[in-house]
């Protein structure tokens, strides 16, 4: 018996990396999963990779009309949602003194505004007792050069979790933030060697995390295993922001 048997989950930005690994694991544990991605080709490939019990909906979480289309597809196909993993987001360095309006707007529009409306628009379909997971980052817990805007966009999610856990208490819907540390994804692969070494050096085991290690944490927050975890932030960072 799977930990998510009979559950319906929505995972945004799930065409690669941590979110794709989470979608695969959710399906293995019995869930039906709706995934989104901005590029249809990548979305089709992710659906093929997951294989079973998955629907792909082309959507940009920064666009409210796309989110409406996502939830209309969920409504028509399944009629309800048990788990939302608002994972869509992106990073980028923006050192103080060089920050542009475009950089600020891009990060906050997707990471903060997009997450807020991903959750809010899901609520009419959420079943009581469901789980909401937001994809945060330990960047808001540590002073990292050039990541102030990115970290700020993720810090807001920590505040959302506290407020929404209270607001949704009567429906017994739990709201938590999953905050990864440095994970060995395509985004990390594009960094220069000195940047990778900076991240490795701050992790006690001196190795980057794996997408699968984030997926198991997401499964924990999505399932009844975390029934008494609410309004919290779970850091999956190898200890980087903890020591």
Is 71 considered catalytic here? no
Average pLDDT, the chain: 96
* pLDDT at res. 196: 83
pLDDT in tens, 75-109: 999 999 999 999 999 998 899 999 999 999 999 99
| Measured distance CA(152)–CA(130) in Å, rounded | 27
Burial 131-144 (b: 16+ CB within 10 A, else e): bbbbbbbbbbbeeb
* pTM summary value: 0.96
Region 237-242: mean pLDDT is 96
The CA distances from residue 110 to 36, 115, 135, 176, 228, in Å, are 14, 7, 12, 18, 29
Given a cut of 80, is residue 190 above it in pLDDT? no
Quick one: pLDDT band at residue 1, thresholds 50, 70, 90? Answer: confident
Question: Which tokens in the block code for residue 161?
Answer: 């979790």
- What does 99-150 look like in DSSP terms, one character per residue? --HHHHHHHIIIIIIIHHHHHHHHGGGEEEEEEEEEE--GGGTS--TT-HHH
Given a cut of 90, is residue 113 above it in pLDDT? yes
**CATH class for the region spanning 8-236:** alpha beta
Considering the chain, what percentage of its residues have pLDDT values greater than 70? 100
Question: Which tokens in the block code for residue 9?
Answer: 């989950």
| 239 backbone φψ class: left, alpha, beta (φ>0; ψ -120 to 50) | left
Given a cut of 80, is residue 139 above it in pLDDT? yes
The residues facing 8 across adjacent strands are 32
The catalytic residue among 32, 71, 150, 198 is 150
Q: Which sequence spans correspond to the domains of the chain? A: 8-236
Given the structure tokens 């190898």, which residue do they identify? 238
């Amino acid at each position: 018996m799977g930990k998510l048997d009979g559950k319906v989950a929505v995972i945004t930005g799930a065409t690669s990396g941590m979110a794709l690994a989470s979608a695969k694991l959710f399906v293995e544990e019995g869930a039906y999963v709706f995934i989104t991605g901005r590029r249809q080709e990548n979305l089709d490939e992710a659906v093929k990779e997951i294989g079973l019990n998955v629907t792909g909906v082309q959507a940009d979480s920064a666009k409210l009309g796309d989110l409406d289309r996502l939830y209309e597809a969920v409504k028509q196909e399944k009629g309800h949602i048990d788990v939302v993993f608002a994972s869509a987001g992106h990073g980028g360095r923006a050192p103080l003194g060089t920050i542009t309006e475009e950089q600020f707007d891009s990060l906050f529009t997707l990471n903060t505004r997009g997450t807020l409306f991903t959750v809010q628009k899901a609520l009419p379909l959420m079943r009581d007792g469901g789980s909401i997971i937001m994809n945060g980052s330990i960047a808001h817990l540590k002073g990292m050069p050039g990541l102030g805007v990115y970290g700020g966009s993720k810090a807001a999610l920590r505040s959302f979790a506290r407020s929404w856990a209270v607001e949704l208490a009567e429906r017994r819907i739990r709201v938590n933030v999953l905050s990864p540390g440095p994970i060995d994804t395509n985004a990390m692969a594009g960094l220069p060697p000195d940047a990778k070494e900076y991240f490795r050096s701050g992790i006690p085991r001196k190795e980057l995390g794996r997408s699968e290690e984030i997926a198991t944490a997401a499964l924990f927050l999505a399932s009844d295993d975390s029934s008494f975890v609410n309004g919290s932030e779970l850091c999956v960072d190898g200890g980087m922001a903890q020591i």
